[in-house]
Chains A and B, each alone.
Chain A
Amino acid sequence: MPPIVQITNVVKEYPLGKLVVRALRGVDLTIEKGEFTAIAGPSGSGKTTLLNLIGCVDVPTTGDVIVDGHATARLDDKALTKLRLHHIGFIFQSFNLINVLDVFQNVEFPLLLQGTASPAERKARVEALIERVGLKAQLHQRPNELSGGQRQRVAIARALVTNPSLILADEPTANLDSKTGADIIALMHELNQTQKTTFIFSTHDSMVMAAAQRIVRIADGKIVTEGAAG
């Protein structure tokens, strides 16, 4: 079975005034389908940059990033958008829900963008997911009426609603207290186990790392160690 993510000798540089900042300096990484992988490292180590490249919200300066069989460097904006919509789910550190939509609508939003499911299918799938993340009672509340943990659960439901092959989570517990953070990780882990969805998340929280099946450590734009957790 081909890997879900194949990264080969990736370099990512950012211009910063007259300087060029090299965020990734030749990264090679392979992630198989169904993995529950943590990318760990201190702030500024390059873990978010790596996640951006995997999530197709950015493209490498050099090297190859292949996501679910698609080489991202060769895709235009439209194709990258389509790839994100159909193959990747995002969970953000700051939840990033759309404030003017309620819980149901936020979760439904990616399905509406896809435009393939019927209203009945959408309703059934969205309600099932919301129930799964334990927010049935908050179905029609707006994000600003929810707690941080609840918002992240909505974000998880939104990431899952299109049945993506890969879910990326950028420090998903950073804005949550430890108990809520643990609950969120547990939920993600459960979904990984039951739905076989691949999870890749960046973190520097040891508790989160402990839950990971595999930890990729990164420092100064390079992978320093790679292996099973614990």
Chain B
Amino acid sequence: MTLAVKAAGVHKRLGSTHALAGVSLDLGDGITGLLGPNGAGKTTLMRVLATVLAPDSGSVRLLGHDPADREARPVIRRRLGYMPQEPGFHQRFTAFEFVDYVAILKEMTARRERHDEVRRVLDLVGLGDVAQQRIKALSGGMRRRVALAQALLGDPRLVILDEPTAGLDPEQRLRFRELISRLAQDRSVLISTHQTEDVAALCHHVVVLRDGETVFAGAPRELAEVARDRVWLADERSAGAELSWLTGDGRHRHVGNAPPAHAELVEPTLEDGYLLLVGRGSLAVAA
């Protein structure tokens, strides 16, 4: 079976910044979470995979095609859904008009069927009732759902969502998780996010980027395992911990190699593993 994404040694410079420094990635069906701190190269990688940016070097194959090939690029794009990190909107358009406009650019020409498809995706993201409202009248969360709706047009085989849950309230995030988990049954979905709980709840596969390089690729539980035997709860703050914070129950959670005195070893989470990879102790762990 053809992998949805197969990237090897991808480099991309943006000005003087080496945004991607040899990223390799293989994605099949299911949901992949892309984690990383600000400036790690997540959005640049998403833009490369969305065929918006061309890599400086390295190879990328999307849905079995090379996006550098001008003939193949539209073939890829017809089967690609993309939600940018900062999706712009035509404020004077209604939600329906905007998604309809995008549908035309996705080559859906038969008017009646196109409108049916627009209604379908708007219903899917829960915006059927406000489809005829102007986008400028919608809340930030609703606008992100409009952006998500357009990414779902035409039943794409590869869906790339750059921080789709930013600005969504908890209920909307849960609805989003439900929707995406249904979507991913027969396609490949790549989600870039800062929300480790979304990754833990949704993703079959996690990739962590740091400084333009892949520092982890595996299952979510494997990411949690990175922090195995390195997470403690204690009553006192420890100066030796890589990361330490006061939890809601009044105890300090320590992540790192140096346990404080009388600390209690606890089960690591995906977030602990991620913090160890990209946090202050990342160099030691990565080595």
- Say whether A and B bind each other: no
Residues of A at under 8 Å CB distance from B?
Answer: none
